[in-house]
Structure 1
Amino acid sequence: MKRLTLVRHAKSSWSDPRLSDHDRELSQRGERDAPRMGRRLCARKARPSLILSSTAVRALETARIIALSFGYPRDFPQTERALYHADPGTLFDVVWSRDDTCRDMMIVGHNPGLTWFVNELLTDFALDNLPTTGIVAIAFDVETWQKADAASASLDFYDYPKNPAAVPEDV
């Protein structure tokens, strides 16, 4: 079994119009939601052995905050330039290129690519929009990442900051 946890970056700030899209930081809401979602992941006993992040400031900061929630060092997430506004084909390439000793991987990236990717993998889930700091965890009944596809995928869980049915953060 393999598990892939997809996380859309936390809410970003538009307060400085001089910043490029790539350089936008988290907003106050993003800074509040990222650790909250990290605690929910911990409550679900998530323990990714690899966290890959887009190089965008808002994505990497989200990944770092979530890593801290697991007790990992702030610099634990690895960056992958290809994840910046990646489409499903690029996301498949990133997943398929991982070493099979990694059983539980997290990717922190962007919409619309993450939403499209989820819908390609989970054809019966029909996600309209993965919200900021939204999480979709997918289990694959495979031994190698190269075989991870829609036929082997099943929804493990879906969560987002305003989810009224969320797992308690302090479990």
Structure 2
Amino acid sequence: MPRTLVVIRHAKAEHGNPGGDHERTLAPQGVEDAGALGRWLAGEGLLPDLVLVSTAARTRRTAELALRGAGLDPAQVPTWPSRAVYDGGVDATLAAVQEADDDATTVWLVGHQPVVATLTLELAQPHRGDHAIVEAVGAGFPTSAAAVLHTDVGSWSELVPGRARLVGLRPRNLG
């Protein structure tokens, strides 16, 4: 069964927060960008069956606003917050994806840089997919960007580096 992983970097966040990095909120531009990202994802037919999201405030809010922008009620979409996606690094983030329910054919992963770019490139090793898109991911992964990966694994638990094809990228500035 073909599966799609949409790797999303959280929207633009405010600098600093008295509660620390984990509690940073979205900047006004980030609020706008997250909704626009959701509209783009809906337009591409990339509605999620499951959302894996870092426990950080800015990623949770990005996921909520993107779901609303996509025309979905966030309360109706299974969402799994994961501390591993916040601070676990590439291997822990991949492990969180590998635990996804196999009934989910499209999964959104909302996380942080540099893990989102590194994970995207590792999954597409040896840079399978559109060469220009691979280069764009390698050059940077701006806030509110989404990388679209297709894989033919039978189960999310089988997703390992090199088992996906990078087929799309939506940087924030594409509106």
Q: TM range, normalised to the smaller chain?
A: 0.7 to 0.9
Structure 1-normalised TM-score?
Answer: 0.88
**Equivalent pairs, count:** 163
The answer for the alignment partner of 1:42 in structure 2 is: 42
Higher fraction of helix: 2
Q: SS at 1:136's partner residue? A: strand
Measured in 2, the distance between the counterparts of 1:105 and 1:17 equals 30
* Range 22-31 or range 97-106, more displaced: 97-106
Q: Aligned ranges for residues 16-165 of structure 1 at < 5 Å? A: 17-75=17-75, 76=77, 77-123=79-125, 124=127, 125-126=134-135, 127-163=138-174
Q: SS at 1:150's partner residue? A: coil
Specify the code of the residue in structure 1 equivalent to 2:11.
Answer: A
* Range 46-55 or range 72-81, more displaced: 72-81
Structure 1 consecutive aligned stretches of length 4 or more whose deviation exceeds 6 Å:
none
Shift of 1:88: 1.3
Shift of 1:50: 0.3
1:8–1:134 Cα contact (<8 Å) kept: yes
Specify the code of the residue in structure 2 equivalent to 1:158.
Answer: L
Identify unmatched segments of 5+ residues in structure 2. 128-133
Specify the code of the residue in structure 2 equivalent to 1:145.
Answer: W
Measured in 2, the distance between the counterparts of 1:17 and 1:23 equals 7
Closer, same or farther: CA 89–73 of 1 in aligned 2, 3 Å? same
The answer for the alignment partner of 1:169 in structure 2 is: none
Q: SS at 2:119's partner residue? A: helix
1:85–1:111 Cα contact (<8 Å) kept: no
Shift of 1:106: 0.5
Specify the code of the residue in structure 2 equivalent to 1:78.
Answer: W
Specify the code of the residue in structure 2 equivalent to 1:154.
Answer: R
2:123–2:161 Cα contact (<8 Å) kept: yes
Shift of 1:86: 3.4
Closer, same or farther: CA 141–17 of 1 in aligned 2, 3 Å? closer
Measured in 1, the distance between the counterparts of 2:142 and 2:11 equals 9
Shift of 1:95: 1.3
1:115–1:128 Cα contact (<8 Å) kept: no
